[in-house]
Structure 1
Amino acid sequence: MTARTLLAYDGSGIDGGLYTTVTHWAADAPNWLDQTVKAWSNVGLGLFALFMLWAWWQARTADSVVMARVLASPLVVVAAYLVNSVLKSLVHEVRPCQQIAGSVSLDPCPAVGDWSFPSNHTVIAFSAAVALWFAYRRLAQVALVAAVLMGASRVWVGVHYPHDVLIGMLVGVLVAIPLAMAAGRAAPLVERARGGALGPFLGAGPAVAVAQSR
């Protein structure tokens, strides 16, 4: 038996009962609620892209440390996603909607081989929120609430176990924190770039912005 075979597992023994409870709640919920959660689960990640776009727009008049952290936020998300992809490739957890007989899912169950653990959506959402925390905390607070709702929606629509979401949250947070903190060290590069061809994209920073407003 190979190491990969040993790592493949049936996650229903961890919290399959809770998964079943939540999906039964979804089955009994009003249709408008299910459709709202389903839409959020499927397209809600786009909101995090808008959060990062808004942060970039605001950072054009902020200091270079803030701009460096904002510019790094998409890279932080990519890094968290790659780490999560490695975990998925090592731990072959079958989707609960495939594993648990009689399970109810609002979304079509992903194909065999599209592994469940951890949740990509949750990793992306939490890594984006944490990356923004080091630039704009008020925005990040909204993003963290959205990330919690994203994770919960993945269980509600029936495509993930609760532990897939919990570990996805941890992966997103633990990868994002050191990278987001380190991103501020690129401030000198941003400062130099602001004086060059990328100036219109990066903004002038607070000193020039104040001077221009006088």
Structure 2
Amino acid sequence: MDDEDTALYRDITDFAHDTPTWVQHTAETWTEAGLLLFAALFVLAWWRARRTEARPFAIAALAPLATAVAYVCSEALKPGFREERPCRAVAAAAPSLADCPPPGDWSFPSNHATIAGAAAVALVLVRRALLWLTVPLALLMAFSRVFVGVHYPHDVAAGLALGALVAAVAVRLGSQPATRLVLAMRASSTPAARWFAGPGPTAHRASYELR
């Protein structure tokens, strides 16, 4: 393990223990609750995109799928590196604020950071204005994993990069077939398919003109 990375881990966890109790509790909560916030943003993006053209809706529908693919990639990489968690491996480090994951739950790359990086990029591809919301949230989630003591800094940096890359590639490769599927769903005779895909922009404009 790189000595500088280990030293940075110690510095961050020492700092975490010097913060007020409410900050520590907030970090412990955020490190998991952040995933729920990204899930809520996915739902909101899908709902808003139901009244857009087929391609923007397809990207909104692909966003959580691309994030799931990034998570699977992260899980697949872990056994190849078999990096022990710093909360067990770093001598003389401050105790982790969160429970140290059990042996065999490897540290590199960080699944949480991978999910955060993927979700942030996927949501930006849905709506560019979300950049100023999703990127800070992803960085905060990644930092929180080191702050609570369960990851090295390089774990979360790699996770963010992996998630962002996989999400971007997945959306790029999947947008065209997903757009065709959306068009088919909007023309389907199945009510559930039409509801999921939404009415598209034509129905939205017609509704607006009738007001």
TM score, norm. by length of structure 2:
0.93
Whether contact under 8 Å (1:41, 1:153) holds in the other structure is yes
User: How do 1:84-163 and structure 2 match up within 5 A?
Assistant: 84-104=74-94, 105-163=96-154
Q: Which residue of 2 aligns with 1:202?
A: 197
Which 5+ residue runs of structure 1 have no aligned equivalent?
Answer: 1-10
Q: Which residue of 1 aligns with 2:180?
A: 188
Whole-angstrom distance in 2 between the partners of 1:166 and 1:203: 37
Whole-angstrom distance in 1 between the partners of 2:195 and 2:109: 39
Identify the match of residue 10 of structure 2 among 8, 20, 27. Answer: 20
Question: Cα offset for 1:42?
Answer: 2.3
CA RMSD of aligned residues (A): 1.2
Identify the match of residue 157 of structure 2 among 166, 172, 178. Answer: 166
Question: Cα offset for 1:102?
Answer: 2.5
Over the matched positions of the two proteins, sequence identity in percent amounts to: 41
Whole-angstrom distance in 1 between the partners of 2:71 and 2:3: 26
Which 5+ residue runs of structure 2 have no aligned equivalent?
Answer: none
Q: Is 1:52 aligned to residue 42 of structure 2?
A: yes
Corresponding residue SS for 1:133: helix
Whether contact under 8 Å (1:51, 1:139) holds in the other structure is no
TM score, norm. by length of structure 1:
0.91
Whole-angstrom distance in 2 between the partners of 1:47 and 1:18: 28
| AA aligned opposite 1:204 | P
Question: Cα offset for 1:140?
Answer: 4.1
| AA aligned opposite 1:138 | A
State the number of aligned residues: 204
- 1:54-109 CA-to-partner distances (Å, cap 9, x unmatched) read 00110011111011111111211111111111110100101111011232210111
Corresponding residue SS for 1:44: helix
User: How do 1:39-78 and structure 2 match up within 5 A?
Assistant: 39-78=29-68
| AA aligned opposite 2:171 | A
Moved over 4 A (4+): none
Whole-angstrom distance in 2 between the partners of 1:110 and 1:77: 22
